[in-house]
Amino acid sequence: MNEIFEIEGKKKLSGEIVVRGTKNGALAILPACLLTKEPCIIKNIPLVTDVLTMIEIIKSLGAEVEWIDERTVKIQAQDLKLEPESILAKKIRASILIAGPMLARMKEIKIAKPGGCRIGVRGLDAHLEGFSDVGVIAEQDGGEKYHLKSLQNINNNIAILKEFSVTATENLMMLFAGQEGINEIHLSATEPHIIELGEFLKKMGVEIEGLGTHSIKIKGIKNLKGVEHSIWPDYIEAGTFISLAASTKSDLTIKNIPGEYMEMVFRKLKEFGISYKIKEDTVLIEGSISRLVGAKIQTMPYPGFPTDLQSPFAVIGTQAQGNTLVFDTLFEGRFKYVDELNQMGAKIIVCDPHRVLIAGPTSLYGAKIKTYDLRAGATMIIAALTAEGKSQLAGASEIDRGYEKIEERLQKIGAEIRRVRID
């Protein structure tokens, strides 16, 4: 059974919306619980399908998982299997994040080739080469399954990543956390969920230097402690709601934002002419009085502008006076949403696989549209709510991977959006 969203646009939104826990943070913290035999309690779990799939992957490895309340799980990984269920591992790209902790605990893991969004070439080379730097042997079974083995004590090693890969950094951090010794990661990523994972590992007894920099030194221990942790708020979701308010020219209060990790996002708001006020962990977007002007969006690794926000902010560009250039330096497959926006009346030219030029302002109109990945899905919801008339958006399940009960939350701030099941 497929599901679509039916959306009536051109409605001013108002009120408050609360940012949930970060999907990407949870996808690293949950596998890190495999590093210890002691119970870990993880709070503020975002109820999105990618995270729920990760929990099922952990269960399929033999860990005991108990829901304490709606957003809190207790995980105890005493006896583990060497391979998760393949059907689960293939569902999400983040399934590869069980490799680091499993290599630390079991010295071996077999895992089916991970799945995930179709947003360009995202191989596992950074993971495999990083593991190879510290003596992990990787074999492939017909290109569909990986078999990883750690045949030596890992100590006094330096893993040099080929790129600022977030998940490869996380995998190596978890591998090193469970080693008796000191190891380093160079060219490490610096995203907020890297820092969150580091803070979680420190609670477990690991010593870490260099969090937030491109060189991380980790002194691990054999017997890591079970701990409690509350998942940090999602800066990508916060940015998505900011784009929603600005694009629909609505006044919207967004609560529980991780403002310290959103400096480049707020800088971009100023460039677009978006009026806003920040107080502690709350931002008020004053869309009704904003005078939008075109700007340049260039994605970069953190602390640069996030690639996950370029498509939601492209909708702002369609409503802004003048031209907006979007330059995604990281992925070549993230502009599939452009055809959908143009179908709605946008004037966007694809210059090359990494750049698009948006002419604005243009009036958007309701249409039958679809999504190719979860961030593009959120983008199309924003566009449909900005547009005149009714839209039907196919691919609701793709959006569910990263945004929790999105239609229910948007209905509470005045959006006309409903989920419809179709044959």
- List, by residue number, the catalytic residues: 117
Question: Which two three-digit tokens encode residue 210?
Answer: 């260099």
The gap between the terminal CA atoms of the chain, to the nearest Å, is 6
Question: Which two three-digit tokens encode residue 384?
Answer: 């449909």
Closest CA to 55 of 82, 78, 34: 34
Taking the C-alpha atoms of residue 22 and residue 48, their distance in angstroms, rounded to an integer, is 10
**SS3 state of residue 149:** strand
**SS3 state of residue 123:** coil
Question: Which two three-digit tokens encode residue 360?
Answer: 């604005």
Residue 191 contacts residue 302 (beta carbons within 8 Å): yes
Question: Which residues, including other chains, have CB under 8 Å from residue 123's CB and lie 6 or more apart?
Answer: none
Beta strand segments in 280-361, E: 282-286, 296-299, 322-328, 347-352, 355-360
Cis peptide preceding 361, ω within 30 of 0: yes
